Amino acid sequence: GKAKAKQADEEVEEQPEGEQAAATEGAIVEVKAKAKAKAKGGLRKKVLEGMGDKSLDQALAEAKEVVATADARIAEAAALEEAQEAQAKAAREEFEKAKAEVAAAGNEELEATAAHQKLLLKVLELTEKEEQERRSLLEAQKALALMEVMAVKQKKLQELEEKRRAATEAAEVAKKNLLAQRQIEKDALEATRRALDEAKALKAQARGTGKRPSVGGEPELPPAKRIVTAFDEQETLPATLVDGDTAV
């Protein structure tokens, strides 16, 4: 095992520095890309879990409130930091003055130095707190932006669903009208066919007897006029008849 490890170390040392650097940079880029994708997915999961059973509008309102609270906290921290910085500046000036005036007073110098260090630590603490508030604000802003995007997508989906429903209803109406028109045409063709058959029958009968008898005791109409009459009667059929329906 030690021999293999030693051999591996020697092989690494034998590699050119350029190749090692390129491999290292590639590994760093890959790790950063994976970390970024993981962080983005984690934020989305965190936002969805934080919403729970809340509606998107309620979650948006709460997120905006969180952002506003974070802004207020940062402003408060900045103001406090500015005040502490002013105190630190005054303390430094006092320290320098005391140092010049009482160079021989070691105890006073030590006290002033301790006070100065204490103020510096306080300023550092406030700075770290402000940075933490800024990070919290950034997370809240990201969550708010994500929920706003989700709200826009939801609204677009609702609009698309309404358009789809309207198109479906229009298609159904058009289909019914088309079926009704086809039924009218079918009935008209059937009436024309019957009229032609009757005209042929009357013509054949007239050839056999030498005259054109009337049907039902009424004066017989010429074949062409009977066809026109059949079409006129068909125009009075209801427009809502479809295949399989009959007029009453």
More confident residue, 112 or 172: 172
For residues 46-56, average pLDDT: 74
More confident residue, 89 or 51: 89
Nearest 5 degrees, angle CA 118-CA 124-CA 128? Answer: 145
More confident residue, 113 or 139: 139
Confidence at 245, pLDDT banded by 50, 70, 90? very low
Q: Residue 98: pLDDT above 80? A: no
Overall residue count recorded for the chain in this entry: 248
- Helices 56-101, 106-209: axis angle to 10 degrees equals 160
More confident residue, 96 or 103: 96
> How far lies 164's CA from each of 55, 159, 160, 172, in Å?
25, 9, 6, 12
What's the rounded Cα separation, in Å, for the pair 42 and 143?
Answer: 11
The confidence score (pLDDT) of residue 35 equals: 55
For residues 95-104, average pLDDT: 73
More confident residue, 198 or 224: 198
Q: Residue 23: pLDDT above 60? A: no
Amino acid at 108: E
The confidence score (pLDDT) of residue 237 equals: 44
Contacts of 195 (CB under 8 A, 6+ apart): 223, 226, 227, 229, 230
Confidence at 187, pLDDT banded by 50, 70, 90? very high
The confidence score (pLDDT) of residue 10 equals: 52
Per-residue pLDDT tens for 117-165? 888 888 888 888 888 888 988 988 888 888 889 899 999 999 999 999 9
Residue found under tokens 């009337």:
214
Confidence at 20, pLDDT banded by 50, 70, 90? low
What's the rounded Cα separation, in Å, for the pair 238 and 246?
Answer: 10
More confident residue, 161 or 2: 161
Report how far Cα 14 is from the mean position of its chain's Cα atoms.
53
Question: Highest mean pLDDT: which of 68-72, 88-92, 160-164?
Answer: 160-164
Return the closest-CA partner of residue 234 out of 205, 203, 179, 194: 194
